[in-house]
């Protein structure tokens, strides 16, 4: 299934989808040396984002988060691609300088997508190739 989205950061990236039920802060929330989400109390605390297609509503926190995203790339621990409901400038800049494909505003809510499904994000064309079943809409 091809899901249309808005292109933000060019390129293509594929990997297993990891959907976050909560926004993500990259400064002090993700360890750039390991790619592990370390934010205390976050639903994905302890999960590695390295090599995944990471979907989350939006980023939160300091502007230094852009550099953390770049550092994840530099250290080989970046996600293969990012999907946001609404990309904020911190995540967008981090993805662009880190060469990580990013799309936002998908035509289907990210919360209808299942973690663990193979996905390809095309940040140039603005599309998500989703290989799984959709979850039911939440009321």
7 pLDDT band, cuts 50/70/90, is very high
Contact in structure between 75 and 32 (CB atoms under 8 Å): yes
Over the stretch 82-104, which tens digit does the pLDDT of each residue have?
Answer: 999 999 999 999 999 999 999 99
Give the closest residue to 59 by CA, choosing from 79, 34, 33: 79
- This model's pTM is above 0.95: yes
φ, ψ (nearest 5 deg) of residue 19: -100, 125
Residue positions annotated with a catalytic role:
62
> What token pair was written down for 9?
């950061």
Beta bridge partners of 121: 13, 128
How many residues are present in the chain? 139
1 pLDDT band, cuts 50/70/90, is very high
What CATH number does domain 2-130 carry, 3.50.30.10, 3.40.190.10, 3.40.50.620, 3.40.50.300?
A: 3.50.30.10
The predicted structure's pLDDT at residue 139: 66
The residue ranges of every structural domain in the chain are 2-130
User: For the CA atoms of the chain, what is the radius of gyration?
Assistant: 13
Average pLDDT score over residue span 124-128:
98
Give the list of residues 6+ apart from residue 89 with CB closer than 8 angstroms, or none.
Answer: none
Taking the C-alpha atoms of residue 57 and residue 10, their distance in angstroms, rounded to an integer, is 19
């Amino acid at each position: 299934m091809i899901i249309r989205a808005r292109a933000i950061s060019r390129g293509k990236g594929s990997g297993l989808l990891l959907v976050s039920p909560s926004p993500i802060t990259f400064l002090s929330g993700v360890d750039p040396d390991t790619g592990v989400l370390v934010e205390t109390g976050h639903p994905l605390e302890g999960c590695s984002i390295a090599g995944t297609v990471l979907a989350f509503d939006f980023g939160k926190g300091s502007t230094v988060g852009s550099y953390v995203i770049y550092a994840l790339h530099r250290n080989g621990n970046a996600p293969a691609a990012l999907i946001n409901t609404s990309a904020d400038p911190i995540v967008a800049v981090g993805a662009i300088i880190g060469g990580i494909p990013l799309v936002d505003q998908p035509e289907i809510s990210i919360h209808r997508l299942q973690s663990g499904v193979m996905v390809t994000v095309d940040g140039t064309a603005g599309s998500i190739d989703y290989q799984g079943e959709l979850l039911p809409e939440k009321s």
